[in-house]
C-alpha cells in the first residue's frame, strides 16, 4: 500500500511540474508550401518545390549567403593553381549521410557528374572539365581544359545546385529519377510517411554538424531548431488561411495576394518577406514543334503580350509587382532594355504580320495550364485571351502543377501528349545574368524543357562566362538581349514579390531566394 501511495504522489508531483522539466516535447512545424511534392529528385527537375525538398535533405559544396555572396558549405578549403586549370577542394570534417556512412570525395564526384548532365550551368562548366577525380577520401579535384570564371558560381547556384548524394544513388542515369533519398543535410526525409496530396514529413538530423558561422541565406550554420516539419497539402488558399488563423498550421509559404488584407488584420499572424529579390514570370516556347520552331512566330508573341495584364490578373497590388523590360531583372547589375523597347505592348497588328511571315496556319497550339498554384493559375487564361486576339487558336489544357512538370519534359508532338507553350516563374537571383538564367541555354536537345537551338546564343553565353572585364560583360549582355529579341528563347512577363504568412509563435526564417527551414524556431 505504501509503495502504491508513493507512486501516486510521484505521479501527481510530476504533473504539477513544467512540461520541459519532465520531458522535452518534440516540436512540429506545419507548413503549407506553394505546391504539393510529387517528384523527389532535385537533379531530375528544376521545379522549385523539388529544389526546396533538396535543401531539406541534401547539403551543398558552396552556397549563396543572404547578400548573394558565394560561401563554402561542405567544403572546408580550396586551392586554384596559378594557371587557373587545377581546382582542389577539401571537405570539412564530420560530414555524414543519413544512413551513417561518411561523405567521401567519390560521392561528390559522382554527384557532380550526374548534375552536370542535367543542369544548364553544370553543362557549361563540364564542357571545360578535362577530369574530375577523388584524390583521397576528403579531397577532390577538377582539372580544366581552359580557365573559366564559372566554377564557384556553378557550384553555388541557388536553383539547380549539385546536391551531394551517396555514390550509389548518384550513379542513377541522369534521365532516370532516383529511388533512394539519402542525403547529409539538416533534415531527414521520412519516405514511409510521404503521402502525395496529404503531407511530406522531415525530422531533424541529430548527427548533422553545422558550420560555425551564423546562418545567412543558403550558407552558414544550418541548425535545425524544430524536431519535425510537415508540409501539409492544402490546395485551396482560403482554407489554408483559415487553418493558419486557427493555429492548425504555422506557415503559408506564399499566400495569394488578395488574402493579404485578411492576414494583416489577425494579431496572431505576420507577413514577412524572406526573399528581397522577387520573382520573374516566364512564358516558355517549345522550339521542337510548329509553330514555335519558327522565330517569327515567337517574335509575334513578344509583340502581342503585355506584362500588366498578367501582373494585374495574378498579383493585383502594384506595391508587389514591377513592369520590367529588362531580361536580367530591374535593379540587377545587368539591367538593360536593349532589344525590348517596343515589345510587350499588345501590338496585335504587328503580331499578326509576324504570324503571317512565320507561316502560322491556324492549327491550335497547346498551352499548359497549372490549376493548383495560385501564382500561375490565372496566367494561362490571360495568355490564351491575348494570343487569340493576335490571331492564334489556343487549346488550353488544365492540370495540377506536378503533372505539368512531368508533361513539360516530354518532347512528343503536341497532339500526342506534348505541348507548345507553358508559363512558370523564376527567382530574381536565378535571372541576374546570362549564366544564371537557364532559359537562355540553347544547346538543342541538351537544353532545358523547350529545347531552343541557337549557336549564336551559345557562343555569346560562353563569351560572357570567359570574360573578366565588367564593361565588356555588359556589352555582351546587350548582344544577348538583341539576339533573344530576334530569336526568342522565352518571354519574360514582369517581376513580382510575395510574402510568407506565419504565426507569431514562429521566428528565424533567413533571408534567402529559397524557402528553407534551418534556424526556424517555434515556441
User: Is there a single domain that holds both residue 165 and residue 300?
Assistant: no
**Residue 412 is assigned to a structural domain of this protein:** yes
Query: Quick check: is 269 in a domain?
Result: no
The residue behind cell 567544403 is 75
Kindly state whether residue 44 falls inside one of the protein's structural domains: no
Average pLDDT over residues 15-44: 77
- CA-to-CA distance for 324 and 512, rounded, in angstroms? 22
Region 356-368: mean pLDDT is 98
Whether 481 has a pLDDT exceeding 60, the answer reads yes
How is residue 258 annotated by DSSP? Answer: G
**What 3-state DSSP class applies to 178?**
coil
Domain final residue, candidates 114, 138, 170: 170
Strand order across the beta sheet in which 129-136 lies = 75-80, 86-91, 139-144, 129-136
Please report the pLDDT score of residue 24 as a whole number: 61
pLDDT tens profile 367-378: 999 998 888 999
Q: Report whether pLDDT(15) > 60.
A: no
Q: Are residues 300 and 161 in the same domain?
A: no
Res. 17 pLDDT band, cuts 50 70 90: very low
Same domain, 304 and 447: yes
Query: Tell me, what's the pLDDT at 200?
Result: 98
* Claim to verify: residue 299 and residue 432 sit in the same structural domain: yes
The verdict on 327 and 456 lying in the same domain is: yes
Domain limits for position 380: 279-496
Residues forming a β-bridge with 367: 396, 421
What local confidence, expressed as pLDDT, does residue 276 receive?
A: 81
So what's the pLDDT on residue 5? 38
Whether residue 298 sits in one domain with residue 149? no
Q: State the cell numbers at 500.
A: 510568407
Q: Assign residue 339 the CATH number of its domain.
A: 3.10.105.10
Domain boundary among 120, 138, 170: 170
- 139-144 and 86-91 strand pairing: antiparallel
- Helix-then-strand count for the chain, H and E: 17, 21
Q: What percent of the chain has pLDDT over 70?
A: 95
Residue 8 has pLDDT above 60, yes or no: no
Question: Does residue 168 sit in helix, strand or coil?
Answer: helix
Query: Do 308 and 454 sit in the same domain of this protein?
Result: yes
Please state the domain count of the chain: 2
Whether the per-residue pLDDT at 284 is higher than 60: the answer is yes
> Above 90 in pLDDT, residue 274?
no
Note whether 162 and 293 are same-domain residues.
Answer: no
Q: Pinpoint the alpha helices (H) of 171-323.
A: 237-245, 260-265, 295-304, 307-314
pLDDT given at position 26: 86
The grid coordinates of residue 461 equal: 553565353
Beta bridge partners of 32: 252
Does 462 lie in the same domain as 321? yes
Cell digits of residue 57: 535533405
Q: Which cell is 459 given? A: 557562343
Residue 232 lies in a domain: no
Kindly compute the dihedral angle of the four CA atoms of residues 354, 359, 364, 370, in this order, to the nearest 10 degrees: -50
Confidence grade of residue 7 (pLDDT, cut at 50, 70, 90): very low
Let me know how long the chain is.
523
C-beta neighbour count of 81 within 10 angstroms: 12
Looking at the domain assignment, is residue 213 inside a domain? no
- Rounded Cα distance, 461 and 104, in Å: 33
pTM of the model: 0.83
Spatial neighbors of 225 by CB under 8 A, at least 6 apart, are: 27, 508, 518, 519, 520, 521, 522
Does residue 34 form part of some domain?
A: no
Report if residue 85 sits inside a domain. yes
Predicted confidence at residue 189, as pLDDT, reads 98
Q: How far is CA 171 from CA 95, 112, 132, in A?
A: 20, 10, 15
Each residue's pLDDT tens digit, 317-337: 898 999 999 999 998 899 999
CATH number, position 105: 3.90.76.10
Q: What rounded mean pLDDT belongs to the chain?
A: 93
Domain boundary among 111, 144, 170: 170
> CA-to-CA distance for 310 and 322, rounded, in angstroms?
11
* Residue 132 lies inside a defined structural domain of this protein: yes
Mean pLDDT for the stretch of residues 414-429: 95
Packing angle of the helix pair 307-314, 379-389 (nearest 10 deg): 150
pLDDT attached to residue 46: 85
CA-nearest of 196, 251, 197 to 229 is 251
* Percent of the chain surpassing pLDDT 90: 89
Amino acid at each position: 500500500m505504501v509503495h502504491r501511495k508513493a507512486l501516486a504522489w510521484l505521479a501527481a508531483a510530476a504533473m504539477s511540474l513544467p512540461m520541459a522539466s519532465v520531458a522535452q516535447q518534440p516540436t512540429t512545424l506545419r507548413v503549407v508550401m506553394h505546391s504539393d511534392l510529387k517528384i523527389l529528385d532535385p537533379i531530375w527537375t528544376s521545379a522549385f518545390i523539388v529544389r526546396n525538398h533538396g535543401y531539406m535533405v541534401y547539403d551543398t559544396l558552396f552556397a549563396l549567403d543572404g547578400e548573394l555572396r558565394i560561401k563554402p558549405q561542405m567544403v572546408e578549403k580550396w586551392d586554384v593553381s596559378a594557371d587557373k586549370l587545377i581546382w582542389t577542394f577539401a571537405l570539412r570534417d564530420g560530414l555524414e549521410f543519413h544512413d551513417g556512412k561518411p561523405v567521401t570525395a567519390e560521392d561528390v564526384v559522382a554527384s557532380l557528374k550526374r548534375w552536370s548532365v542535367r543542369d544548364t550551368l553544370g553543362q557549361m562548366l563540364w564542357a571545360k572539365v578535362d577530369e574530375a577525380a577523388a584524390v583521397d577520401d576528403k579531397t577532390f579535384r577538377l582539372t580544366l581544359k581552359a580557365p573559366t570564371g564559372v566554377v564557384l558560381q556553378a557550384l553555388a547556384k541557388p536553383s539547380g545546385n549539385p546536391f551531394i548524394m551517396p555514390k550509389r544513388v548518384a550513379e542513377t542515369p541522369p534521365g532516370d529519377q532516383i529511388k533512394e533519398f539519402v542525403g547529409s543535410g539538416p533534415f531527414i526525409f521520412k519516405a514511409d510517411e510521404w503521402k502525395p496530396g496529404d503531407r511530406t514529413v522531415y525530422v531533424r538530423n541529430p548527427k548533422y554538424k553545422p558550420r560555425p558561422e551564423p546562418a545567412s541565406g543558403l550558407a552558414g550554420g544550418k541548425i535545425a531548431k524544430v524536431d519535425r516539419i510537415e508540409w501539409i497539402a492544402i490546395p485551396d488558399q482560403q482554407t489554408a488561411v483559415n487553418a493558419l488563423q486557427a493555429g492548425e498550421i504555422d506557415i503559408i509559404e506564399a499566400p495569394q495576394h488578395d488574402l493579404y488584407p485578411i492576414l494583416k488584420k489577425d494579431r496572431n499572424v505576420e507577413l514577412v518577406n524572406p526573399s528581397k529579390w522577387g520573382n520573374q514570370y516566364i512564358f516558355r516556347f517549345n522550339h521542337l514543334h510548329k509553330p514555335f520552331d519558327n522565330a517569327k512566330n515567337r517574335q509575334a508573341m513578344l509583340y502581342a503580350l503585355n506584362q500588366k495584364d498578367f501582373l494585374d490578373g495574378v498579383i493585383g497590388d502594384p506595391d508587389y509587382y514591377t513592369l520590367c523590360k529588362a531580361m536580367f531583372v530591374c535593379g540587377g547589375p545587368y539591367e538593360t532594355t536593349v532589344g525590348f523597347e517596343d515589345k510587350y505592348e499588345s501590338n496585335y497588328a504587328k503580331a499578326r504580320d509576324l504570324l503571317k511571315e512565320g507561316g502560322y496556319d491556324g492549327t491550335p497550339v497547346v498551352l499548359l495550364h497549372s490549376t493548383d498554384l495560385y501564382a500561375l493559375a490565372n496566367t494561362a487564361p490571360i495568355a490564351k485571351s491575348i494570343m487569340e486576339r493576335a490571331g492564334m487558336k489556343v487549346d488550353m489544357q488544365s492540370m495540377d502543377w506536378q503533372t505539368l512538370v512531368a508533361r513539360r519534359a516530354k518532347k512528343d508532338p503536341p497532339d500526342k501528349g506534348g505541348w507548345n507553350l507553358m508559363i512558370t516563374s523564376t527567382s530574381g537571383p536565378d535571372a541576374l545574368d546570362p549564366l544564371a538564367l537557364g532559359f537562355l541555354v540553347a544547346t538543342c536537345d541538351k537544353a532545358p524543357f523547350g529545347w531552343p537551338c541557337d549557336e549564336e546564343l551559345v557562343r555569346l553565353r560562353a563569351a560572357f562566362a570567359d570574360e573578366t572585364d565588367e564593361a565588356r560583360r555588359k556589352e555582351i549582355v546587350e548582344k544577348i538581349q538583341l539576339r533573344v529579341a530576334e530569336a526568342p528563347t522565352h518571354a519574360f512577363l514582369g517581376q513580382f514579390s510575395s510574402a510568407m504568412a506565419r504565426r507569431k509563435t514562429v521566428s528565424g526564417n533567413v533571408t534567402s531566394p529559397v524557402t528553407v527551414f534551418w534556424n526556424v524556431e517555434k515556441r
